[in-house]
Structure 1
Amino acid sequence: MKRLLGISLLLSLSLFKAQEHISSFNAVTLTYKFHPKFFIYGEGQLRGNEDYTYPDYYEIKGGLGYNLTKNHKPFVGLGRYVNYKDHKLSREEFRVWLQDVIDIKKGIVKFENRFRAEKSWFYEPQIDKTSQRMRYRYRLNVSVPLNSKTIQKGTIFANAYDEIFLVTPMKPTFARNRVYGGFGYQIDDYFGIVSGYLWQREFEAKGNKNLHFIYLALNINIDGTDHHVKTYDFPGAD
């Protein structure tokens, strides 16, 4: 029986290794509040989707946000997204989006509700093909400080979220689901680090696909206003 269990375990591990692997998801974000109501946001990403050590995807994006209220932040953004396959550029994307973020606090726990509508234009140079896409996303992001009542310098916090993606005109309409869990540390007034595990499920007509990411990010927050109370934003894997 022990030998049978051992063989089953080895077969299971071999199957997982053959079909699914660990991917890398690295990001640097910058949030700069230059007015009590307005802020700019920028982000760079580098991912290894097929091989953890070889980056085959990058994106550069940013935009302008408005603090409508303390817990309500509309935002408009744009970005460039590039995929590689077999060490060759396979697809370029230009994207614009509108989003609305509504925060709800219950004690020390913050629930972030993010709604986003995206318009994308694609170009695949290897086959000289262009296409377009509309995508709609909703994310519920929960964060809680672990060693203080609020997130401040020296705070360790936990973060988890679930996000769904709906697309048109492509099929299936329900295209993706992301689930994330991890921890962060606010180093000082400007720098924070976040790391965790991100599971991504791709729903496709030809078959579903799972991606397993190790997420690592450096978040930079700069408040150029005269406010004495400093807030920290943690965008999460995007």
Structure 2
Amino acid sequence: MINSLKHFFTITLIFAIALTTKAQVGSLPDEKEKITSNGVWLGFYTKYHFNDKWAYYGEYHIRKRDGFNDMAQIYLRFGATYTLAKYVDVTVGFVNPYYWAPDQDDPNVDNVVPQFRTWEQMVFATPFDHIKLFHQIRIEQRFKRDYEKGSEFKLTHRFRYKLTLYVPLNKPAFENHTLFLSMYEEIFIQAGKSIVYNHLEDNRLFAGLGYNLSEQLQVQAGYMYSFRHYGAPYKYENRHIFRLSLYHHLDFHLDKHREERHLPIH
């Protein structure tokens, strides 16, 4: 009798779960819902070498949405870089971005929400005679919360892979006053207890031009297309973003061979 009741409740539970799942799936639309947005990202990248092995790494961004009209994000990344080999760098550090809520007039949300992350990165180059090809693997541990007032911080993890290509256009090699083509693709995957269906978070493609103003200063500008998840199983966002970035590199110890040993900022 007891076994029969156990089987009955088990079958009933399975049937109830199946009906609930069917109802949830059936409530989803048959097609993807896509929105389109645009923005402007301004970035400043730094890399300051203190000796043959150690360097300070920093990124500082101002990101706007709706063209240049609305503030979207201030992004501060700090790290310590260690040179493992001629073409290999590793970095660890801390990130503190601030996000502006899309609806600043909503009384139920905080207009600006902070986020806290730790991060680790490995960058290695595939050496060629006239072009530069870089692989970047970045891992982030993110403590993030929603815009709603009183929301709790939740831990999620993000895994990023970026492939970057530089091609000189007016000179056979990279030196002062070199104009070059800059392209990259970066894929974002996220995980964690609160990540249910949106594991593939973002895919970014960039194409632009760069110019070496000097050994210490470089500028890049171009267009970035981003296709990312937008908070529901069927919602996605196409982003069209203009990027302008300044790169500053300093070496505080004198060594004429530093260019052969250190990876440049990218």
TM-score of the two chains, using structure 2 as the length reference: 0.77
Q: Percent identity?
A: 22
* Gapped regions of structure 2 (runs ≥ 5): 1-34, 105-109
Q: 1:73 aligned to 2:89?
A: yes
* Residue aligning to 1:105: 127
* Gapped regions of structure 1 (runs ≥ 5): 1-18
Q: Which has the higher strand share?
A: 1
* Residue aligning to 1:12: none
CA distance in 1, matches of 2:77, 2:139: 15
CA distance in 2, matches of 1:49, 1:90: 14
Q: 1:37 aligned to 2:40?
A: no
Which of the numbers 112, 116, 133 marks the counterpart of 1:94?
116
CA contact (8 A) 1:92 1:124 kept: no
* Residue aligning to 1:56: 72
1:96, distance to aligned residue in structure 2 (A): 0.7
Q: 1:166 aligned to 2:194?
A: no
CA distance in 1, matches of 2:234, 2:208: 31
Which of the numbers 175, 190, 196 marks the counterpart of 2:222?
196
Tell me the alpha carbon deviations over residues 176-220 of structure 1, each in whole angstroms, 9 at most, x when there is no partner: 100011111111222111101011111242401011110001111
CA distance in 1, matches of 2:200, 2:89: 26
Residue identity matched to 2:84: L
Tell me the alpha carbon deviations over residues 49-93 of structure 1, each in whole angstroms, 9 at most, x when there is no partner: 234233221111110111111101111121101111234634321
CA contact (8 A) 1:58 1:82 kept: yes
Flag the structure with larger Rg. 2
CA contact (8 A) 1:111 1:141 kept: yes
Q: 1:234 aligned to 2:234?
A: no
CA distance in 1, matches of 2:116, 2:173: 37
TM-score of the two chains, using structure 1 as the length reference: 0.85
* Residue aligning to 1:210: 238
Alignment length (residue pairs): 218
Residue identity matched to 1:66: Y
CA contact (8 A) 1:97 1:119 kept: yes
1:234, distance to aligned residue in structure 2 (A): 3.4
CA distance in 2, matches of 1:96, 1:50: 29
Structure 1 stretch displaced more, 76-85 or 125-134: 125-134
CA distance in 2, matches of 1:95, 1:180: 25
1:114, distance to aligned residue in structure 2 (A): 0.8
CA distance in 2, matches of 1:125, 1:140: 32
CA distance in 2, matches of 1:187, 1:227: 21
CA contact (8 A) 1:175 1:202 kept: yes
Structure 1 stretch displaced more, 124-133 or 168-177: 124-133
Which of the numbers 114, 120, 140 marks the counterpart of 1:118?
140
CA contact (8 A) 1:143 1:158 kept: yes
Which of the numbers 236, 248, 253 marks the counterpart of 1:220?
248
Aligned-residue Cα RMSD (Å) equals 1.9
CA distance in 2, matches of 1:133, 1:90: 20
1:126, distance to aligned residue in structure 2 (A): 3.7
CA distance in 1, matches of 2:240, 2:255: 40
CA contact (8 A) 2:47 2:265 kept: no
* Residue aligning to 1:186: 212
Q: 1:134 aligned to 2:162?
A: no
* Residue aligning to 1:177: 203
| SS of alignment partner, residue 189 of structure 2 | strand
